[in-house]
Amino acid sequence: MTKTVLRIDSSVRKDESVTRDLTNRIVARLNADEVITRDLIETPPLVDEAWATANFTPADKRTDAQKEILALSDTIVDELRAADTIVIGLPIYNFMIPASVKAWVDQFIRAGVTFRYTEAGPEGLLPNKRAILAVASGGTGVGSEIDHATTYMKFILGFVGITDVSIVAADQLAIDAEGSVKNAYEAVEQIAA
């Protein structure tokens, strides 16, 4: 049984969003004890020079201002650490993830925090977690050569140690919306709680 789910929504649509509908269904199916929700309709701030300086300053030497700059990033990292399963609503916009998802990713990809460099290469520090991508697209086929969204997210999640990644896809909605959504709903029913 899943204890804690982190639910990430990123569709710019509050109503009639296929990915929000899928994340609702997946989270309900998981029957978690706790659900942490982060809605990226409120896009995290883009990283900038002040953020980078704070991030690369050793934690015990950070000023109060630097700690404040990293506060949201620290919260996002804590949410990922707390979760057994991460459910990410991922619409494909122009063959890629939404800008808000990239801003979210940039807040948690932190050397020494979510990954570290070793002699064997990078090692993710968030192992033993599961991720489910709830994907929707108008014309992009998931796994096709023009799908730069799911391949990117699988790489990013794997980079921080989350290698158990599955996809529930309602893709190519512009071609066969009814069939695509039906297939996605059936995939949700196969998800083990």
> What contacts 187, CB < 8 A, 6 or more positions away?
168, 169
Q: Is 87 a member of any domain?
A: yes
Residue 74 lies in a domain: no
Q: What are phi and psi of 21, to 5 degrees?
A: -65, -45
Which parts are annotated binding residues for FMN? 11
Number of domains in the chain: 1
Residue 77 confidence (pLDDT) above 80: yes
In a domain? residue 53: no
Residue 51 falls within a domain, yes or no? Answer: no
Assess if residue 168 is contained within a domain.
yes
Evaluate whether residue 70 is within a structural domain. Answer: no
* Known binding-site positions: 11
pLDDT at position 192: 79
pLDDT higher than 70, residue 2:
no
Question: What pTM was estimated for this model as a whole?
Answer: 0.95
Share of the chain above pLDDT 90, in %: 97
Q: What residues have CB less than 8 Å from 1, skipping those under 6 apart?
A: 31, 33, 193
Q: What percent of the chain has pLDDT over 70?
A: 98
CATH of the domain at 171: 3.40.50.360
Q: pLDDT of 41-71, one tens digit each?
A: 999 999 999 999 999 999 999 999 999 999 9
Which range marks the domain in which residue 34 is found? 4-44+81-189
CA distance 93 to 98: 6
Report if residue 88 sits inside a domain. Answer: yes
Domain contains 63: no
The secondary structure of residue 188, as a DSSP letter, is H
Query: Using 50, 70 and 90 to split pLDDT, how confident is the model at 163?
Result: very high
